[in-house]
Structure 1
Amino acid sequence: MSESPRPAQTPPARDAHGEQVSEMFNGIAERYDLMNLVMTWGQEPRFVRRTVERAQLPDAPTVLDLATGTGDIALEILRQRYGAHIIGADFAPEMMEVGRRRPGGEQISWVEADAMDLPFEEGVFDAVTHGYLLRNVTDIPTTLAEQFRVLKPGGWMVALETSPAPDNVIKPFSTAYIKWVVPRLANLITRNAEAYEYLSATTRGFKTPAEIHGLLDDAGFVNIGHETHLFGTMAIHWAQKPVTTTG
Structure 2
Amino acid sequence: MSTNQPAAETPRPDEHGADHGTQVASMFDGIAGRYDLMNLVMTWGQEPRFVRRTVQRAELPDAPVVLDLATGTGDIAFEVLRQHYGATITGADFAPEMMEVGKRRPGGEQVDWVEADAMDLPFADGTFDAVTHGYLLRNVADIPTTLAEQFRVLKPGGRMVALETSPAPDNLIKPFSTAYIKYVVPQISKLITRDPEAYEYLSATSRGFKTPAQIQDLLEEAGFEDVGHETHLFGTLAIHWATKPR
Does residue 191 of structure 2 align to residue 188 of structure 1? yes
1:165-203, CA deviations, whole angstroms, 9 ceiling, x for partnerless residues?
A: 000000000000000000111111002110000000000
Residue 7 (structure 1) aligns with = none
For the residue of structure 1 that corresponds to 2:149, the secondary structure is helix
The correspondence for 2:47, drawn from 44, 47, 70, is 44
Does residue 185 of structure 2 align to residue 175 of structure 1? no
- Say what the alpha-carbon RMSD is for the aligned residues: 0.8
Does residue 239 of structure 2 align to residue 236 of structure 1? yes
The correspondence for 1:204, drawn from 204, 207, 212, is 207
Aligned length: 230
TM score, norm. by length of structure 2: 0.93
Superposition map of 1:11-30 within 5 A: 15-30=18-33
Does residue 157 of structure 2 align to residue 140 of structure 1? no
Does residue 114 of structure 2 align to residue 111 of structure 1? yes
Does residue 230 of structure 2 align to residue 227 of structure 1? yes
Deviation of 1:220 after TM superposition, in Å, equals 0.2
Deviation of 1:15 after TM superposition, in Å, equals 3.8
Does residue 80 of structure 2 align to residue 70 of structure 1? no
In structure 2, distance between residues paired with 1:87 and 1:206: 27
In structure 2, distance between residues paired with 1:150 and 1:186: 36
Deviation of 1:59 after TM superposition, in Å, equals 1.0
The correspondence for 1:129, drawn from 114, 125, 132, is 132
Which residue identity does 2:124 align to in structure 1? E
Residue 80 (structure 1) aligns with = 83
For the residue of structure 1 that corresponds to 2:100, the secondary structure is helix
In structure 1, distance between residues paired with 2:189 and 2:119: 28
User: Which portions of structure 1, spanning 4 or more consecutive aligned residues, are displaced by more than 3 angstroms?
Assistant: none
In structure 2, distance between residues paired with 1:58 and 1:103: 24
- What residue ranges of structure 1 are gaps of 5+ in the alignment? 1-13
The correspondence for 1:157, drawn from 153, 156, 160, is 160
In structure 1, distance between residues paired with 2:190 and 2:61: 41
The correspondence for 1:60, drawn from 60, 63, 69, is 63
In structure 2, distance between residues paired with 1:17 and 1:198: 13
